[in-house]
Amino acid sequence: MLALMRPQGSTTPGSWAATRSDPRIRPLHDLVRLLGGDAASLAPADERLPVALRRLDEDAALVHEGAPLHSLHIVRCGSLKCVRALEDGYQQVTAFALPGDVIGFDGLHRGQHIATAVALETSTVYALPLAGLQALRQRCPVLDDALQLALSRQLASAAATAEMLAAVASEVRLARFILWMAARMTALGWSPRQLRLRMCRRDIASLLGVAHETVSRSFTTMADAGLLKVENRDVESLDLQRLQARARATRSLADGRPPGAHPVALAA
């Protein structure tokens, strides 16, 4: 059932040849653990089921928008960007995928990929062929649970993206982006203060729906304000407190705080 597709490595085939075990295969419990599932309660017979692994060099495309959907991918290490072509040639970045993120599920209902996924650095991803996936889920409820959870996270993540975009002021958007990335780094066990952004300004700008010059300007503004230390793609959060305050602001600066009550408070 569980078809072991040979990963079409974009890597040079010979150089990373397996010495001891094939590096293109990992046991199932690794995947379950990555997804935050309860790997311990995997049936012993299942925990070493082979899962295909695929390695991507920087700028290599994992899948292409519109291509038939054959596998679900889960990022193991590295990072990718998901982009959609917006008909007029404009490239819209829709997400940055980090370890544990699922790629491809959003295309299930149409049978084809919704976005192109491009590696931002050398990365590896698990590949779960759709053929046999249902059987595998039935066989391993633990994997099923883990996948459900991952999808739930994915959905919440999409909401977070919308929340960033919904901010009116560009600086607020960027602050939310930084905090969001920091939160994800924390979830992965990294430091939330030291960010190494793998994507260029233009990609961030695309995700946030602003001009890339504006991203630059907002970075320097916040750096001047002592919120960040920005050195190219290395971003250090110096004052999470005030950074969160800025991310919370519905409207932009107002740094000289006129302590008058908030003008906002809307609707319902």
Partner DNA sequence: CGATCGTTTGACGGTGCTCAATCACCGTGG
Partner DNA sequence: CCACGGTGATTGAGCACCGTCAAACGATCG
Which residues form the interface with DNA (CB under 7 A)? Answer: 168-171, 200-202, 209-217, 219-220, 230, 232-233, 250-253, 263, 267
Handedness of CA 59, 102, 127, 69 (dihedral sign): negative
- Window contacting its own copies (CB under 8 A); options: 11-19, 26-34, 104-112, 221-229: 104-112
Q: How far apart are CA 230 and CA 241, in angstroms?
A: 17
Please choose, from the candidates 45, 44, 34, the residue with its C-alpha nearest in 3D space to the C-alpha of residue 102.
34
Between 70 and 212, name the residue whose CB sits nearer to DNA: 212
Q: How far is the CB of 190 from DNA (least distance, A)?
A: 20
Total residues contacting its own copies by CB under 8 A comes to 63
Instruction: Quickly list DSSP for 102-136.
Output: EESGGGTTTTB-SSEEEESSSEEEEEEESTTHHHH
**155 interacts with its own copies by CB under 8 A:** yes
Q: How far apart are CA 14 and CA 19, in angstroms?
A: 11
Of these, 39, 62, 83, 119, which contacts its own copies (CB under 8 A)? 83
The pair of three-digit structure tokens given for residue 43, joined into one six-digit string: 């049936």
Q: What residues contact residue 212 under an 8 Å CB cut-off, 6+ apart? A: 200, 201, 202, 204, 205, 206
214 binds, among its own copies, DNA, none (CB under 5 to 8 A by kind): DNA
Of these, 71, 79, 154, 218, which contacts its own copies (CB under 8 A)? 154
Q: How far is the CB of 77 from its own copies (least distance, A)?
A: 21
Instruction: Give the H/E segment covering residue 237.
Output: strand 234-237
Of these, 67, 108, 183, 188, which contacts its own copies (CB under 8 A)? 108
Q: What residues contact residue 225 under an 8 Å CB cut-off, 6+ apart? A: 242, 255
**44 interacts with its own copies by CB under 8 A:** no
The pair of three-digit structure tokens given for residue 203, joined into one six-digit string: 């990609």
Q: How many CB atoms lie within 10 A of CB 124?
A: 18
Of these, 17, 21, 44, 87, which contacts its own copies (CB under 8 A)? 87
Between 149 and 211, name the residue whose CB sits nearer to DNA: 211
Handedness of CA 105, 125, 138, 40 (dihedral sign): negative
**144 interacts with its own copies by CB under 8 A:** yes
Between 167 and 228, name the residue whose CB sits nearer to its own copies: 167
Between 113 and 198, name the residue whose CB sits nearer to DNA: 198
Q: How far is the CB of 238 from its own copies (least distance, A)?
A: 22
Cα angle at 108 between 105 and 114, to 5 degrees?
75
Between 44 and 89, name the residue whose CB sits nearer to DNA: 89
85 DSSP β-pair partners: 91
Handedness of CA 235, 239, 241, 247 (dihedral sign): negative
Q: How far is the CB of 211 from its own copies (least distance, A)?
A: 8
State the binding string over 191-230 for its own copies (x if CB under 8 A, else -): ---------x-xx--xx-xxx-------------------
Q: How far is the CB of 230 from DNA (least distance, A)?
A: 5
